[in-house]
Amino acid sequence: MAYALLKHIHLATIVITLALFLLRGAWRLTDSPKLNQKWVKIVPHTNDAILLAAAIGMLVVANLNPLDHGWIMAKIIALLAYIMLGTIALKRGKTPLQRNLAFIGALAVFAYMIAVAVTKQAWLV
């Protein structure tokens, strides 16, 4: 029961994370002042913290060690890449080209994480 609840929270926050990333990416493309709203700086991080807490909770409840399951470790490494690329796409990219390429890369890594979660396979061939 606890695992199912954590999984539902995890899945819901994944959808919210993607929606917020797409929204902020669109605003970045249009240089929208909406990116400077206070909630835009708080809500995505709060949601991501809940997402991560649910993921860790699922690992604990299911007694899964990421070091014993390559697909979980692959998701963790991909998460770090997604964070790095997302930061470049939304904040640190110096040129529009850098931001756009990082945005596309972040979306590709996000898709990879979903594929790994569904298939439980680190390398999709």
Q: Give tens-digit pLDDT for 1-43.
A: 899 999 999 999 999 999 999 999 999 999 999 999 999 999 9
Of 11, 37, 64, which residue constitutes the final position of a domain? 64
Across the range 32-57, mean pLDDT stands at 96
- Give the DSSP letter string of 26-93: HHHHTT-GGGGSHHHHHHHHHHHHHHHHHHHHHHHHTT--GGG-HHHHHHHHHHHHHHHHHHIIIII-
Q: 13 and 45 in one domain?
A: yes
List, in order, residues 6 or more apart from 72 with CB less than 8 Å away: 59, 64, 66
Q: 81 and 115 in one domain?
A: yes
Domain span at 97:
67-125
Q: 43 and 88 in one domain?
A: no
Q: 101 and 75 in one domain?
A: yes
Instruction: Report the share of the chain in percent with pLDDT over 70.
Output: 98
CA distance 6 to 80: 21
Q: 48 and 71 in one domain?
A: no
CA distance 82 to 74: 12
What pLDDT shows up at residue 1? 83
Q: 80 and 33 in one domain?
A: no
The count of structural domains within the chain is: 2
Q: 52 and 24 in one domain?
A: yes
Q: 29 and 74 in one domain?
A: no
DSSP letter at 121 equals: -
Q: 120 and 72 in one domain?
A: yes
Give the pTM. Answer: 0.91
3-state secondary structure of 107: helix
